[in-house]
Amino acid sequence: MLNNTYTLKSWNNNFKTFLLSLIFLTSLYVDGQNRGEDKFSSKGISEVIVDGDEIFTISVATAQTDAITLKSLSDGEYGNDYQVVSEVKGNQVFVKLKRVSIVDTPDDKRNAHKVIAATLEITMPENLNLSVKSDIGSVEAKGKFQELSFNLIQGGCNIDGTARLANIKTIDGNIFVKTSNAVIQTDSHHGLVDFPSDMFGFNVWRLSTNGGNITVKKQE
C-alpha cells in the first residue's frame, strides 16, 4: 500500500512538472508570434509595392473587391519585435516588415531570418499593378493583374494568372507560370526552360533567372 501511495504521488508530481513545462513553452511560443491584419479601401490605388526583405512567403490573390487586405505573421525568437506595416502614398501602397520594438536585437540583417520567420498574405482588386522584391522570400500570385514585377534573390515564384506586362527575375529560384494570351520571353543561364511553342497573345512576359528552371503552362 505504501508503495502504491508513493508511486501515485510521484506520478502526480511528475505530471504537474510536465504540465507546468508545457504551459511555459507554449507561452514562449505564443509570445514569439506577432499576427497582424489590415484592410482599407483601394479607391485611387493603382499599385501595391512590397518590400519583402526578411519575409519567407508572400501570397497574393486578386478578387472582385474594392478593398486591399493584408494578413501577416511574424514568428521566431524575435517575431514579436517585428510587424508588417503598410503606407499609402498617392496611388501606391507600400508594404514592408518593420521593427516595432525598442528592445535591442541583432542588427546584422544577414542573420535576421534565423530569428524571424515572417509570412504575408495579400488580397487585392483585379487589374492593379503588383511589385515585389525580396532577399529570401518566395512568391505565390494568383488572379488578374495589370503589371507584375518580381525581383527575388533566394526564393522562386509560382504564378497562376494574367498580366498585360510581367517582368519576373530570380537568382536561383525556379519560375513557374500558368497564363494565357501571352508572348513569353525566357532567359535561364544555368537552368532548364520549358514552355509551349504555340503560346501567343498580346500580353508580354519576360522571365529571367540565373540558376533556376523556368516552366510555363497554358491556362485553360
What residues does each domain of the chain span?
A: 1-31, 33-139, 156-220
Strands (E), the chain: 34-41, 47-51, 55-63, 67-75, 82-89, 92-99, 117-125, 128-134, 138-152, 157-170, 175-179, 182-188, 193-194, 203-209, 214-218
- 142-183 residue pLDDT tens: 999 999 999 999 999 999 999 999 999 999 999 999 999 999
Cβ within 8 Å of residue 62, ≥6 positions away: 123, 124, 125, 126, 127, 128, 142, 143, 144, 145, 161
State yes or no: pLDDT of 90 exceeds 50: yes
What's the rounded Cα separation, in Å, for the pair 138 and 146? Answer: 21
What's the rounded Cα separation, in Å, for the pair 211 and 128? Answer: 30
Residue 105 has what DSSP assignment? Answer: -
Q: What is the pLDDT of residue 136?
A: 93
- 103-125 residue pLDDT tens: 555 554 544 444 567 899 999 99
> In the block, which residue shows the cell 506595416?
85
Q: What is the pLDDT of residue 102?
A: 55
DSSP-derived pairing of the beta strands 92-99 and 138-152: unpaired
The share of the chain scoring above pLDDT 90, in percent, equals: 62
* SS3 state of residue 43: coil
Number of neighbouring beta carbons within 10 Å of residue 153: 15
- 178-203 residue pLDDT tens: 999 999 999 998 899 998 888 889 99
Band of pLDDT at residue 207, cut at 50, 70 and 90 = very high
